[in-house]
Amino acid sequence: MDTTSLTGKQLAADLNADTRTRAAALTENGAAPRLVLVVANDDPASGWYVKSLQRAAERLGIACDTVDLGATASADAIRAELDRLSKDPAVDGVMLQTPLPKGVGLAEVSTAIVAAKDVDGVSPHSLGLLASGLPGFPPATSEAVVELAKFHEIPLAGRHVAVVGRSNVVGKPLAQLLLAENATVTVCHSRTADLPAVTSAADIVVAAAGRAGLITGAHVREGAVVLDVGTNEGPDGSIVGDVDAPSVQGRAAALSPVPGGIGPVTTALLMRHVVRAAEAARA
């Protein structure tokens, strides 16, 4: 069986073209959309991601600033900064970069971001809106999985989807988005008994556990679709997914690559969220 590569390059390009046009219209009307990234760590991978977001924003005509609170920032200091930015009318989107300092929980501090500016959908408020089916910003990575499937014309309604991973930033919100598409969803995790038996019964498998090579050919039934959300560092320093791609190739009908699959779509959707927030603020 030939395994189709579900690349995200074209979808990201389409999204970015629309975002660039809308950002230019906002700028012409008086103010460019503005994103502020709040950092409280000295993690090299986080630093790389922040720089990539800054470059993406610049290419699209979105103003992007970074506030570095330092790797020892307290929960109170982080909350105070997020609250200040949420109240600043010149700021359209606020994103808190992880990891956070030891002892500081994301849910503990992210409630300080108002839902209208929570462009990556990380706060309990935003997650509650998503679970309730109300307007808000879903986590961009979760949304990217759904949008990539739609772009490649993979049906979701009525399909059985196994989501491997139950984090608040991918697994749980993705389950809500898939339910909204009328999929039947099974959420798997570290305590799922006989994971291969569960995933191999699914039409679509989404790997979002953060463990390199966790999903192998034994986890996938022939003809299933596999969407790989993982971004792990390989032995040689390269980025690898949660799927052992060689063992899945020839068995799955389609597989999203890492890199080049979910990643570029996630960034494109995050930037679109900033523009949408700016448009709503100026309406």
Binding residues for NADP(+) are: 165-167, 231
Annotated binding site: 165-167, 231
Q: Is 255 helix (H, G, I), strand (E, B) or coil?
A: strand
**Token digits of residue 98:** 């992880």
Contact 226, 249 (CB under 8 A): no
CA angle 78-83-85, nearest 5°? 100
* C-alpha separations of 72 from 41, 77, 146 in Å: 7, 10, 36
**Token digits of residue 65:** 């600033």
Dist. CA 167–CA 189, nearest whole Å: 9
**What's the number of CA atoms in the CB half-sphere (13 Å) around residue 174?**
35
Beta strand residue intervals within the chain, DSSP E: 4-5, 34-39, 63-68, 93-96, 160-164, 184-188, 204-207, 225-228, 232-233, 239-240, 254-255
